[in-house]
Structure 1
Amino acid sequence: MMRAYRLAFERQHPGIRLEIVAKSTAELLREVEQRPAGKRPDVVWASSIEAFVLLARKGLLQPAPELRNPQVPAKVGPHALNDASGRYFGQSLSGYGIMWNSDYLRQRQIREPQEWQDLAQPAYAGHVVLSAPSRSGTTHLMVESMLQGLGWEQGWALLLQLAGNAAEISPDSYAVPRGIARGSYGAGLVIDAFGLAAKYSGMPVDFAYATMAPVLPASIGLVAGAHNPDGAKRFMAFTLSPPGQQLLLDPRINRLPVLPAAVLHMPAGYPDPYLQAQRSRLQFDVELSSTRYQLVSRLFDLVVTEPLVELQAATRAIHAADRALRSRSSRQGAALLASARKVAYTPVLPAMEASSRQWLAAAGAPADAQWERLQAIWSETARNNYRRARQLAEQALAQAQAAP
């Protein structure tokens, strides 16, 4: 995608050389924040809408309302496509869901998933892959979709069950679709562009939009204190123009344009993002997501990424006890299994405390002493919970095996 845009833009503007540097969302934020004015990148371009909200809140984006393309609709579903002050603009649209390898699942007789909850089922134990929100802005958005769609407590319960089924927490979001396409994993959480690109290139994969997920703009914005703002504006205008939007439909890219189908040459059967946005059951709160961005990302690492081995072991033990109790009834075993699930899948940070302004602020200041203490407590609590849950599940299994 980046190469296609660079070549097309430089053909149209032969006097300008374009350099594109790929970074994760967290790295992108640090890059813009830490560089002094005049030495910052000219443009930020990313799928994470929260990144633009955070940069705008810190005054790191320069308004350029004249770049808005009037052919672009004002909204996709309930969400505005452009910043009201012209600090950033929707350049493409992104939906979120599940990608799976059809051959992999068929060989193992696993039903194809359609919703996040499917990946938490016992059949998917060891077959799921996802990235960490601290490494991927799109993964953060999917994590937030579950937290907002189900509420903090139930959202974390689903996330912990799903992650307990994971074969791996991938170091970056790009490795998730690559691993699924190669058949290393059965299914995973991906942005639609990854799933569609693999599917339409002929790989044995498919993709389904989760109904508990929004359709949001992948945006582009002019950095305040940019080194070359004039060149940046020309590039941004190109990406929002019909030729720039048409590039998104290249079979090797397969992204969803913000310009409506009537303006472009859309492939037959291509997803309509505006229709998909109407199907979404989630009213995604971008402000809430951006406010607790650092907290959610770090908490995920503390309770999932770092103690993954313990979480996997607890989840396997819970699945084993569940299978045994389905064939041999035991009231005491059932009570032990319920306790194991509660211990393993109850978030270490209650909803009321997660909304504390003091903790939200501390999460954005890693050197804060209180924040360091909290992280240590959450990490230790999570590991102890998973060990205790495993013990309870093993006791439940023993009760089932001893039942007549």
Structure 2
Amino acid sequence: MKLLNAVLFALTLPSGLQADELRILTSFPSGMTAAFKELWDEHFPRTEIRFLNKNTISAVEEVQRGNLRGFDLFWASSPEAFVLLDRSDHFAPMGACGADGPASVEGFAISSVGWARRTESELFMPAEWNDLLLPIYRDQIAMARPARSGTTHLLVEQILQMRGWDAGWSYLLQLSSNLSTLTARSHGVPSGLLKDRFDIGLMIDFLALSQGEALQFRYGRPTMIFAAQIGILNGGGNGPAACDFVRLLLSRDGQMTLTDPRISRTPIDPDVRHEVAARIPQNITTGLQLAWLDYDAETSADRFWAVNTLFDLMITDVLNDRRSLWRRYSDLQGQTSDEAMSHVRRLLSTVPVSETQAIRISRGAEPGLRPEVQPLAGSFERDIVGLWRREVAVQLRDADAILTQLEQDAAR
């Protein structure tokens, strides 16, 4: 009977997946996965562990398409990714690991976002978010596209949640005037800093802290703290091993591994945090004590598609044009009509979509993640993207026309 049960279980595994293998889909870099592979091999040497690294949005899409490759665990920093997968019932049911086992989704580390620079850089380190708008940072700042990076989407959402929808987008659109580049992935930001491609990089804390003394990191204030999570997936082939990995991750050994210099993450276990208090960033410690702001992952999930789409349409796709318009605007300061300049500023810093519209449209978008219109995308997404692109183009065209007239007047 035991042999028969083993055969039946093996037959239920996705093609090519063995019962003694654990598969983890993650957005985390190789330094982190390597450290946990070492820890896993020490405790469970008979079960092979395999990691597939994908950016968060691609990973979510893979699971939403049915988890055809049979991943057992989804492991990422983005809270909204877990909300989206939970809403579509992609996580194992409550009690999957037994009455005394971990939940199907567990937080394991604490993080926040901010900016970094090279330690030897002579450029003034920004003290707060508004400093990033100063002229001294022109062509000096980089960030990843939120449509390609779950942690950058989280950073954009933090700004929107702290400042409100309209004021948050106004800030991001003004920030575009100082952007040097938008990287394809979040890991490209610390890499670009180390290669001296730009001087300031917007990112999640552990990407900078894991670079040792090469990068100096500063948290944005107020500090909005969130928990990175791990979830046991439906459709995996090795549920017991998945439960074992989550137990290991939450154990003292697992939490201490997070403090490995290759990882530099803040453990979620308060006892372990107390034990390694000297290594925990002060802003995180203070933020936990004061609880300044809670990150609203539900709201972020509600408007996920719209935020990614709007960022690309308003910033990524027109970055050169928008930067040029902002610089022409800056060059005309004090030389011409205040009323006309105010009009230009409104055109360059206004999002053409309300928060209510963004939520309503995001709920209608399928699968609700990427801004690009794929060949099989429905007319709903194509029509919305086309409408928003035209509205952005009108704003930029009108700003250009006013600036051209003001430049001509100033030259007379």
Q: Deviations over 1:142-176 (max 9, x none)?
A: 11111111111111111111123211111000001
**Within 1, Cα distance between the matches of 2:352 and 2:323?**
17
In structure 2, the residue matched to 1:98 is 115
Check the 8 A contact 2:116/2:201 in 1, yes or no. yes
Match of 1:259 among 244, 266, 269: 269
Partner of 1:10: 41
Which residue of 2 is the match for residue 347 of structure 1?
351
TM-score by length of 2: 0.83
**More deviation in 220-229 or 253-262?**
253-262
User: What is the aligned-residue identity percentage?
Assistant: 29
Shift of 1:139: 0.7
Please, which of 21, 32, 52 is the counterpart of residue 82 of structure 2? 52
Is 1:172 aligned to residue 185 of structure 2?
yes
Structure 1: gaps (5+ residues): 71-81
Could you tell me how far apart the structure 2 residues matched to 1:335 and 1:13 are?
69
Match of 1:93, SS state, is strand
Q: Distance in 2 between matches of 1:9 and 1:320?
A: 58
For the residues of structure 1 that align with 2:317 and 2:380, how far apart are their CA atoms? 20
- What amino acid is aligned across from residue 22 of structure 1 in structure 2? N
Q: What residue in structure 2 maps to residue 74 of structure 1?
A: none
Q: What does residue 28 of structure 2 align with?
A: none
Choose from 277, 284, 306 the match for 2:317. Answer: 306
- Count of residues in Structure 1 that have an aligned counterpart in Structure 2: 372
- 1:271 aligns with 281
Q: Structure 1 length as normaliser, TM-score?
A: 0.85
Decide whether the 8 Å contact of 2:112 with 2:225 is kept in 1.
Answer: yes
- Quote the Cα distance in structure 1 between the aligned partners of 2:198 and 2:221: 23
Which range moves more in the overlay, 1-10 or 254-263?
254-263
Give the 3 Å change call, closer, same or farther, for CA 122–268 of structure 1 in structure 2: same
Describe the superposition over 1:81-138 as per-residue Cα deviations: whole angstroms up to 9, x where unpaired: x9xxx3310111111111123544x2xxx43212222212222121110111110111
* Corresponding residue number in structure 1 for 2:327: 316
Please show how residues 123-134 of structure 1 align to structure 2 within 5 Å: 123-134=136-147
How many angstroms apart in 1 are the aligned matches of 2:131 and 2:273? 37
What SS does the aligned partner of 1:19 have?
Answer: strand
Report the AA paired with residue 60 of structure 2.
L
Is 1:361 the counterpart of 2:364? The answer is: yes
Question: Which among 63, 75, 91 is matched to residue 61 of structure 1?
Answer: 91
Deviation at 1:341, TM superposition (A): 1.0
| Partner of residue 27, structure 1 | 58
Residue identity opposite 1:159 in structure 2: L
Query: What amino acid sits opposite 1:14 in the alignment?
Result: P
Q: CA deviation at 1:207?
A: 1.2
SS in 2 for 1:207: strand
Residues 145 and 284, structure 1, Cα contact 8 Å, conserved in 2? yes
Contact kept? 1:318, 1:390, Cα under 8 Å: no
C-alpha separation in 2, matches of 1:119 and 1:395: 29
Structure 2 CA distance for partners of 1:233 and 1:359, relative to 1, 3 Å: closer
When structure 1 is superposed on structure 2, of 387-396 and 2-11 the one drifting more is 387-396
CA distance in 2, matches of 1:307, 1:300: 10
Give the SS at the match of 1:50.
helix
CA separation of 1:345 and 1:126: change in aligned 2, threshold 3 A:
same
Opposite residue 111 of structure 2, the aligned amino acid is S
**What's the secondary structure of 1:14's corresponding residue?**
coil
SS at match of 2:52: coil
The farther-off stretch of 111-120 and 182-191 is 111-120
Task: Kindly state the Cα deviation for residue 31 of structure 1 after the two structures are TM-superposed.
Answer: 1.3
Alpha-carbon distance in 2 for matches of 1:119, 1:184: 17
Give the aligned partner of residue 230 of structure 2: 220
Q: 1:233 to 1:264 in 2, by over 3 A?
A: farther
In the TM superposition, what whole-angstrom CA distance separates every residue of 1:232-279 from its partner, at most 9, and x where no partner exists? 111111111100111111112111111125567416353253432345
Residue pair 1:133, 1:297 contacting (<8 A) in 2 also: yes
Taking the aligned partners of 1:27 and 1:163, their CA distance within structure 2 comes to 25
